[in-house]
Homo-oligomer: A and B are copies of this chain.
Amino acid sequence: MSSRKSWKNYLDDHHDRDFAELIDFLKIPSVSTSPEHKDDVAAAATWVANRLIAAGVPEVEILQSKGHPNVLAKWHAAPGKSTVLVYGHYDVQPVDPLNLWESDPFNPEIRNGLIYARGVADMKTNLATLIQAVEALAQTGGAPPVNLTFLFEGEEEIGSPNLADVVVAQKDRLGCDVALSADGGMASSEQPALCVGLKGICAVQIDLTTSSTDLHSGSYGAAVPNAIQTLVKLADTFHDEKGKVAVEGFYDSVIELTDAEKAEFAEIPYDAAAFMDEAGVSSVWGEPGYTVTERRWARPTVDFNGIWGGFQGTGTKTVTPAEAHLKITCRLVVDQQPEHIIDLLQAHVDKHCPQGVTAKVVVQETGARPYSLDRSSPTLKTAIEVLEDVYDCKPWIVRSGGSVPITEVFQRELGVETVTIGFGLPGSRVHAPNEWFRASDFDRAREVYAAFFNALGE
């Protein structure tokens, strides 16, 4: 194992090369959802594989899947030490609306200390810097301080449809003691954060039909059910007047927050004006009896993501529509199971759908279970110590309302917990135009990853 000083020097010495590499990586338009970028996603996989090889990783393989390829690599040269499974993704979100970008999303530009590029925060910088950190440790210590297995995918931005299958198929090669996900962020450039809870998710679509054909609203509208009106009435039964979910049994398996957890949440500063400004809203909303932070991090929801029916063009069409549709996702918390929640949604629709009307509940995704990291995890403790040391302040212990399905897959299939360390910041416009990453966090990322791997080897 190398001394902190030696690998820090190595990183400093290679700063310019490493930064130039990142810029190259950002130039690959690896948009996983767009068929026209299929070759670009493959090119990003190749870039990652080559960078691992250049870092000294002895086993590097590009695994083809039903969709985009995965990169699976291993460097097990630390006998007696832990094995760490490192997860990340090299695909990015689409760039539209392109006209809102102030510079080319795939020609990175630095303005006022921020790197602007698609994928710079989510999560190409994390991916490049963690490989660079491994190289620094290996070059200065002869080998990495822990056994490393890398699993990088190209489909995270489309919901990782094939990754769980890959994990099951490669189970033997993925055995490990702990996992690190690099798909995360910090609270600010000065305030590190560690995420210990992710929500689960399930998704359904309701397809409601009132008639075999659209009808003239003058001739029929007064006397037959209207699909939009029926759907609106049905949709309005999912929440009560105050915003609490009204699906029977929905909260039954929710483990309520303890006073200690609520106190922990309350320690994280919440600035209402800043939050509303960031979200572009002029009011907050949600389940009564909980703070905004509690709602976002720890309360389950029934979210309407899409609705459509009847005439949607310019002008007027006096139609009594025959069908209408609603897309719903539920964000789930421990101990809600997606399969069970889908059963409850189905029962709710059966109960509230009026006679003579058909409402099909079509399951859109198998879903993901909620994930929570045990606060007594030694790996979490290590991460806290490393971040406190680098940032010179205690990291916030936070949760996320989002879902990173792989963390739950690692827990279920490999029996390991996942610690998430990444460097995007709130407001860095991931999934939106003008995504940015603070240039000064580039060095911090390399230092944190190197220090974290080193600490795990101690």
Contact = CB atoms under 8 A, between A and B. Distances in A.
A239 B354 CA distance: 15
Give the copy number.
Answer: 2
A281 B317 contact: no
A49 to B, nearest CB: 25
A309 interface: yes
B321 A306 contact: yes
A256 B210 CA distance: 29
Query: Among A295, A304, A319, which residue has the most Cβ atoms of chain B within 10 A?
Result: A304
Interface in A299-342: 299, 301, 303-322, 324-327, 329, 331
B285 A225 contact: yes
A284 interface: yes
Contact of A364 (B94, B316, B432): B316
Interface string A44-76: 000000000000000000000000000000000
A319 B429 CA distance: 11
A432 B318 CA distance: 10
A33 to B, nearest CB: 4
A199 interface: yes
Contact of A218 (B312, B331, B355, B429): B331
B215 A307 contact: no
Contact of A216 (B203, B325, B430): B430
Interface stretch (A106-114, A164-172, A229-237, A411-419): A229-237
B305 A319 contact: yes
Given A223-B285, A304-B229, A429 B213 contact: yes
A258 to B, nearest CB: 19
Secondary structure call for the A interface: loop
B317 A305 contact: yes
Contact of A236 (B220, B236, B307): B236
Query: Among A216, A305, A326, A365, which residue has the most Cβ atoms of chain B within 10 A?
Result: A305
A225 B310 contact: no
Contacts of A210: 281
Contacts of A310: 304-307, 327
A263 interface: no
Interface stretch (A377-385, A395-403, A437-445): A395-403
A207 interface: no
Contacts of A301: 217, 221-222
B431 A215 contact: yes
Nearest to A32: B315
Contacts of A403: 218, 318
A212 interface: yes
A316 B307 contact: no
Query: Among A159, A217, A365, which residue has the most Cβ atoms of chain B within 10 A?
Result: A217
A250 B200 CA distance: 45
B213 A331 contact: no
Contacts of A434: 213
A426 B312 contact: no
A392 interface: no
Nearest to A325: B312
A457 interface: no
Contacts of A96: 311, 313
Given A218-B403, A236-B232, A303 B318 contact: yes
A260 interface: no
Given A213-B434, A226-B304, A307-B308, A221 B401 contact: yes
A241 to B, nearest CB: 9
B280 A322 contact: yes
Contacts of A319: 305-306, 431-432
B213 A280 contact: yes
B315 A223 contact: no
A173 to B, nearest CB: 29
Contacts of A324: 307
Contacts of A255: none
Given A223-B285, A228-B307, 19 more contacts: A33-B317, A96-B311, A158-B315, A210-B281, A211-B279, A212-B281, A216-B402, A217-B303, A217-B331, A218-B401, A224-B283, A226-B303, A229-B304, A305-B319, A306-B311, A307-B310, A307-B312, A316-B329, A319-B432
